[in-house]
Amino acid sequence: MRFTVDSRLHYRFAGPCEVLLLLEAARGPDQTVLSEQLSFSPHADVARLDDAVTGERRVVFSAAGDVDIRYRAEVAVEPRDSSLVGAEASPLRDLPDEALRYLRPSRYCPSDRFEAFVQRQFGDLSGGDKVAAILDWIDGHLDYRAGVSDGSTTALETFVDRAGVCRDYAHLAITLCRAADIPARAVSAYAWRLQPPDMHAVAEVYVGGAWRLVDATRLAPIEGLVRVATGLDAADIAFMSIFGRADLLNQSFAIGQVDV
Amino acid sequence: MRFTVDSRLHYRFAGPCEVLLLLEAARGPDQTVLSEQLSFSPHADVARLDDAVTGERRVVFSAAGDVDIRYRAEVAVEPRDSSLVGAEASPLRDLPDEALRYLRPSRYCPSDRFEAFVQRQFGDLSGGDKVAAILDWIDGHLDYRAGVSDGSTTALETFVDRAGVCRDYAHLAITLCRAADIPARAVSAYAWRLQPPDMHAVAEVYVGGAWRLVDATRLAPIEGLVRVATGLDAADIAFMSIFGRADLLNQSFAIGQVDV
Amino acid sequence: MRFTVDSRLHYRFAGPCEVLLLLEAARGPDQTVLSEQLSFSPHADVARLDDAVTGERRVVFSAAGDVDIRYRAEVAVEPRDSSLVGAEASPLRDLPDEALRYLRPSRYCPSDRFEAFVQRQFGDLSGGDKVAAILDWIDGHLDYRAGVSDGSTTALETFVDRAGVCRDYAHLAITLCRAADIPARAVSAYAWRLQPPDMHAVAEVYVGGAWRLVDATRLAPIEGLVRVATGLDAADIAFMSIFGRADLLNQSFAIGQVDV
Amino acid sequence: MRFTVDSRLHYRFAGPCEVLLLLEAARGPDQTVLSEQLSFSPHADVARLDDAVTGERRVVFSAAGDVDIRYRAEVAVEPRDSSLVGAEASPLRDLPDEALRYLRPSRYCPSDRFEAFVQRQFGDLSGGDKVAAILDWIDGHLDYRAGVSDGSTTALETFVDRAGVCRDYAHLAITLCRAADIPARAVSAYAWRLQPPDMHAVAEVYVGGAWRLVDATRLAPIEGLVRVATGLDAADIAFMSIFGRADLLNQSFAIGQVDV
């Protein structure tokens, strides 16, 4: 499938500060950027820090005062295998190099605290079946609701609160998978058909010998995800990290399907 | 300087399980492994997962029942520049690729919570001077004391408890540096002259255009550190991660200087 | 001094629910209610649950739909001894019966976590001198700032965040005093000259053989506090506890001095 | 039923310090102390601080060096109504004065965090039926296991860890009941037939117009509980609170039935 994405960010930066932007469509085997344009008004001096392993695209720029950022792209997304049933877990030695770190607890995914729960609840299952059961459990025990969580909410709090938004759903899915020794990581994405339109947070698990995208919120189809950033959790995939202070004036994220 | 290290681990594994071992001396520009031997009794089938970027050496093995592991090596450590005074902070765009992730909060280093404190306490300083002031503050406000913390203790708890061991000191130093936008990471090391002998945890900060080792506990000389693992925090640098259950029967870590 | 207080609360209750109201001026040796009027529109059936020990006044009512509550009173406040210097700590056996519970940790005041800090920082002092030093420390290390904390923030978080509002200042003062074995409790009050006008939260400590009001924020004079509720922390002194759901439509708290 | 209890505590106190002891059988409508003896070796000067409302018996003494404390008593326990099924919840205005505070969150029972969970899981039930369902849920989702928790563990952590000891079971039961607007408090007790013998922690809930003892661990019969202290949570009911430092040398708690 082919998509156009269109992001507009309007921020007011207090004093000159550096900003890391993770807003561009990633490049990888499952998606191709056909055309794109990233523009700053006023003009900004930009340095690229792209990541070869995940295909994540990063730019750093210096900002002061009012800045408009716009990113437009056309992206082709290949069919993705997100099937879980029967997908086997890999022994540690067969994991790809980069997968090891996604077994470990992180800032918002304290998986070390959930081993007993995961063993009790999902102990009979393994691999993709276990992931599927974890996603079903989350679907059955959480309410999607804004205002319960904020930028410092961890999966432990979400597990107690039984409510949250996409970030929280992704964190809890990642946490429970890691507690079950299944590599799991966070992915930000433009999400076709997500209502209301916004940058989306989903999870990616390594089972059946491949990374598979899963959306614990079940709010957007996997085949319509244009992936952007990849990391341990929300600490890694924020679309903008401001090393200084700024006010959000306005922002929007749009995605549309292109008929081919 | 030249050192011999000698580790012995004796564990009892309940049922067959996979184990990740981060016990071997790292290879890098600042240290050369002259000779080494890693042995398992009974014999274990080992797979290597070494990390090219940090020089970290990793093996995975499968274990069941009683297992003796021994690692002996002779390592040459080059003189290290660990000077902080006057070392400048780097702008984001000049950081090496791998440094970016060490600016972010992690499981045991919730640096996002300490921005106000760091700004209040160390706001007038920057770069290596700021790191030096952070280390002085830790030295003046914490007591080195066992029993206060355990494997789940975060830097936030250590900041409140005002006491801990090397792991906690390293976590707090890393946390405060990251809160000051200085890349900081955790390093495990054999530590010459550390009393009692044990695997040590220290921090490494990126200032003055280079990674510099710092020991917030001030218990062992920097030039006598034989580095092993490198990561975000204790979640990454544990010398043994057991994917299953095991009992520790006995373990020891020795290091001695070799006259050349 | 003599004051008039005037509170207006306008809430919309979803479905019939019970509400506990701690809004009326307390009656006690240090303040006399000269006249007062509590009214509900529409009329509500009210039950009184006043507390004889603290003088706290409580009403319970059942509500549904839009409800206007108004409380007006004229209150004479006697001169209060809030001097701390030289006020001695009491041995446990000389404490009044009700003081014992105010030595213990509570929901928002986890004093058990601060014993090491308090010993390190204030260990040379005792009694009122210690309380005064604690208040000075808070004044020097915290910023009064809204938006940092919310209704679930504990003193441990405030100690880390180094910022908060009156509730957080009171909680931290109470926590540090209890960690120093000084009974300390939370008091809500109408606060003359507080800007902007609002219900205020302060602390009360038992030293020199008496309870003494202290305001860690230093934003309102002690002699202008018309006390309302008394308890372990914010969990006990909220002016309204709704056993059900409600929306705040409007509320105001006013206090003025009456010339006699 | 009639019981003898026999406690022996042997502690070493570092320097003179005050100690609060909650070790004696409470006096109340449901139990009568027929005879008792509390002795200190060496002799200690003891002050009594008994609580008239709960019948809790408290002594304060000053200690230094090695101290042996022994408490022996014979206690008659009346039949207790601990039935839950059909017991109705009371409206707020009908609660006894002292019950109000047991609706609120406390140090180890952060009931404010569990409203969504309780509503989701037990929302269809009320009163004693709800309490019974909460106890069943705890029984089905927790493992009784030592070493998971310690003196600072809260019910939130126990909810995540899915394991704990009697203190943790009581805290979780209390927390979930309060989150359901049912007054609940902590009670320490000598527990007949508890294996191994120890001071026990249970909960007490107010439904059907009376306080009813419940044991979330189901390890000891309710009719064999000789109650000692009553409070918000473990912060209130510890059998010994030491205002200073001490080492435990030895302690034992015994209870036996007396044939009449």
Residues of chain D with pLDDT under 50: none
- pLDDT value, residue C184: 98
pLDDT recorded at residue D52: 86
Interface test with B, best of A93, A113, A177 (most B CBs within 10 A): A93
Nearest to D253 by CA among D173, D166, D174, D171: D166
By the 8 A CB rule, do C200 and C189 touch? yes
Query: What is d(CA B167, CA B190) in angstroms, rounded to the nearest whole number?
Result: 14
Provide the pLDDT for residue B97: 87
Contacts with A232 from chain B: Cβ below 8 Å: 106
Q: What is the pLDDT of residues C49-97, one digit of tens each?
A: 999 888 999 999 999 999 999 999 999 999 999 999 999 999 999 999 8
C152: left (phi over 0), alpha (psi -120 to 50) or beta: alpha
Check CB contact of D47 with chain A, cutoff 8 Å.
no
Instruction: Quote the CA–CA distance of D72 and D8 in Å, as a whole number.
Output: 9
Q: Which of B162, B168, B176 to mutate to test the interface with C (most CBs of C within 10 A)?
A: B162
* DSSP SS3 for A173: helix
CB contact under 8 A, D160 and A161: no
Q: How far apart are CA C147 and CA C163, in angstroms?
A: 9
Contact B100 A58 (CB under 8 A): yes
Compare CB distances from D162 to A116, A161, A163 and report the shortest one's residue: A116
Contacts of A49 in chain B (CB under 8 A): 93, 97, 100
For residue A52, what pLDDT is reported? Answer: 86
Angstroms from B257 CA to nearest CA on chain A: 33
Q: Is the pLDDT of residue B15 over 90?
A: no
Mean pLDDT along residues B138-157: 96
As assigned by CATH, the class of the D2-78+239-258 domain is: mainly beta
Query: pLDDT value at position C97?
Result: 87
Q: Answer yes or no: are the C-beta atoms of C228 and C5 closer than 8 Å.
A: no
Average pLDDT of chain B, as a whole number? 96
Residue A92 in contact with partner chain B when CB distance is under 8 A? yes
Q: What is the CATH number of domain A92-236?
A: 3.10.620.30
Within 8 A of A18 by CB-CB distance, chain B residues are 91-93
Interface residue A122 vs chain D (CB under 8 A): no
Note the pLDDT of residue B170: 98
Q: Does B113 touch chain C (CB under 8 A)?
A: yes
Return the half-sphere exposure (C-beta side, CA atoms, 13 A cut-off) of residue D127: 14
Mutate to test the interface with D, among C107, C154, C171, C245 (most CBs of D within 10 A): C107
- Contact B245/A at CB under 8 A: no
CB pairs under 8 A between B and C: 33
Which stretch of DSSP H or E encloses residue B155? helix B155-161
Mean pLDDT, residues A161-189: 98
- pLDDT of amino acid C168: 98
Return the pLDDT at B90: 95
Tell me, yes or no, if B144 comes closer than 8 A to chain C by beta carbon: no
- What's the complex ipTM? 0.96
pLDDT at B248 over 80: yes
A112 vs D contacts (CB less than 8 Å): none
Task: Give yes or no for residue A260 having a pLDDT over 80.
Answer: no
Q: Which residues of C touch B143 (CB under 8 A)?
A: 116, 120
Q: Do A160 and D120 make contact, defined as CB atoms within 8 angstroms? A: no
Q: Find the length of chain B.
A: 260
* D20 touches C: beta carbon within 8 Å: yes
The CATH number of domain B92-235, selected from 3.50.7.10, 3.40.630.10, 3.10.620.30, 3.40.50.360:
3.10.620.30
pLDDT digits over B57-76, tens only?
999 999 999 999 999 999 99
C243 CB neighbours in chain D (<8 A) are 92, 181
- Put simply, the answer to whether D20 touches C105 (Cβ < 8 Å) is no
Look at residue B62 in the predicted model and tell me its pLDDT. 93
Residue ranges per structural domain of chain C: 2-78+239-258, 92-236
Report, as an integer, the average pLDDT of A63-76: 96
Q: Find chain C residues with C-beta within 8 A of D109's C-beta.
A: 107
**Using N-to-C axis directions, what is the helix angle for A127-141 and A166-179, rounded to 10°?**
140
Instruction: Tell if the CB–CB gap between B113 and C161 is shorter than 8 Å.
Output: yes
* End-to-end CA, chain B: 8
The pair of structure tokens assigned to A227 is: 């992936």
pLDDT of residue D129: 98
If you average pLDDT over residues A32-42, what whole number do you get? 97
Does residue B163 sit at the C interface (CB-CB below 8 Å)? yes
C-alpha dist (Å) from residue C111 to C102, C154, C212, C257, D231: 11, 11, 19, 37, 17
**Residues in chain D within 8 Å Cβ distance of A116:** 143, 148, 161-163
Please give the Cα distance from B106 to C6 (Å, whole number): 49
Q: Which of B9, B14, B207 is nearest to B103 (CA)?
A: B207
Q: Low-confidence residues of chain C, pLDDT below 70?
A: none
Nearest-CA distance from A18 to chain B in Å?
7
Conformational region of residue B123, where left means phi above 0, alpha means psi within -120 to 50, and beta covers everything else: alpha
- Residue C63 burial class via C-beta count within 10 angstroms: exposed 0-12, middle 13-18, buried 19 and up: buried
**Do the domains A92-236 and A2-78+239-258 match in fold?**
no
pLDDT score recorded for residue D53: 85
Which pLDDT tens digit goes with each residue over A128-164? Answer: 999 999 999 999 999 999 999 999 999 999 999 999 9
Q: What is the pLDDT of residue B260?
A: 78
User: How far is B164 from chain C, CA to nearest CA, in Å?
Assistant: 11
Cβ-Cβ contacts under 8 Å, A160 against chain D: 113-114, 117, 156, 159-160
